[in-house]
């Protein structure tokens, strides 16, 4: 089928089939329903497999592929869509991304299925430049929506900086603060273990007197750890996962530090795990 022959009915079918993948938490299918489901999946894959042998240059077709990605678990089925997109004309792909992404996020929410597609922008200069040109026409609320999604994706996976930069977002400088010369040796050792290997156990040395670890942990949270910034909230994992009974005492300790220090600590957590920072702020407000 030539691209010119792919009309709205073809696009509508692709979008419908992409959203009809049965979910594991849904009621079980009957044998007949399962047969229909499997036939639909095979049809979806076949509609996309043609682009292994045919150039994908039509923007409407690319947009249909993007809209066929729904905010659901795809169980690997969407790999066919990602493969087709990876073969698309780079300029048409960038224009399609700019056209679809804000509305996709508005109507379907932030989901890994669209993030996996947009990842193609990371290493494609031409596609990214065309995407940025299209993004220049977004309304302010559309831009805010996309930037919020990009911020989450960047927290989860390193590598999104070129896309954010293309949209004019200042690039975060990942420069680690020097370790204070007057720190106790165990604080310095904990910081080195975290920066070198991502280890957090050295921050929590005393299991018997758990609260005695708080000054060390708070000091580690306060300083910039460079490229490890995404992992800074992991320093709290022993508290939040294993010793939740000590959370009130930790919040008390956090409340007692000077406000400037507290703001830096919460800001570092917020950068990588906003929900954790929000929870701590809420507990502080309840004291």
The tokens describing 273, both together, are: 């795990």
44's CB contacts (< 8 A; 6+ apart) are: 14, 17, 18, 68, 77, 80
Same domain, 36 and 63: yes
Domain hosting residue 196, numbered range: 185-286
Same domain, 33 and 160: yes
Same domain, 202 and 129: no
Same domain, 66 and 160: yes
Same domain, 112 and 211: no
Q: How confident is the model at residue 208 (pLDDT cuts 50, 70, 90)?
A: confident
Report the length, in residues, of the chain: 287
Is residue 214's pLDDT more than 60? yes
Structural domain count of the chain: 2
pLDDT greater at residue 141 or residue 173: 141
Q: Give the three-class secondary structure for 123.
A: coil
Looking at residue 225, the DSSP 8-state letter turns out to be: B
Please give the pLDDT value at position 111.
96
Same domain, 154 and 100: yes
SS (H, E, C) 136-162: CCCCHHHHHHHHHHHHHHHHHCCCCHH
220-233 pLDDT, tens per residue? Answer: 999 999 989 999 99
111-166 pLDDT, tens per residue? Answer: 999 999 999 999 899 999 999 999 999 999 999 999 999 988 988 888 898 999 99
CA distances from 122 to 16, 62, 126, 165, 257 (A): 28, 18, 11, 11, 40
Same domain, 50 and 110: yes
């Amino acid at each position: 089928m030539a691209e010119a022959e792919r009309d709205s009915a073809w696009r509508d079918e692709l979008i419908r089939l992409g959203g009809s993948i049965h979910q594991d938490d849904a009621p079980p299918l009957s044998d007949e329903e399962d047969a229909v489901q499997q036939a639909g999946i095979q049809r979806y894959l076949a509609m996309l497999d043609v682009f292994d042998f045919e150039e994908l240059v039509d923007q409407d077709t690319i947009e249909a592929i993007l809209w066929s990605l729904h905010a659901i678990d795809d169980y690997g089925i969407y790999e066919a869509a990602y493969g087709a997109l990876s073969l698309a004309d780079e300029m048409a792909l960038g224009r399609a991304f700019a056209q679809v992404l804000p509305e996709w996020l508005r109507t379907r929410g932030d989901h890994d299925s669209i993030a996996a597609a947009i990842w193609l922008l990371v290493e494609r200069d031409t596609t990214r430049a065309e995407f940025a040109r299209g993004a220049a026409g977004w309304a302010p609320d559309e831009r805010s929506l996309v930037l919020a999604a990009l911020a989450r994706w960047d927290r989860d996976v390193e590598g999104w900086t070129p896309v954010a930069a293309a949209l004019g977002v200042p690039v975060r400088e990942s420069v680690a603060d020097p370790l204070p010369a007057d720190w106790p040796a165990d604080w310095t050792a904990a910081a080195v273990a975290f920066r070198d290997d991502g280890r957090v156990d050295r921050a929590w040395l005393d299991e018997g007197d758990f609260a005695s670890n708080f000054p060390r942990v708070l000091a580690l949270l306060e300083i910039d750890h460079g490229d490890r910034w995404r992992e800074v909230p992991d320093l709290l994992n022993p508290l939040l996962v294993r010793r939740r009974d000590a959370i009130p005492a930790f919040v008390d300790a956090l409340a007692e530090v000077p406000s400037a220090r507290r703001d830096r600590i919460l800001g570092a957590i917020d950068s990588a795990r906003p929900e954790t920072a929000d929870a701590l702020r809420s507990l502080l407000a309840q004291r």
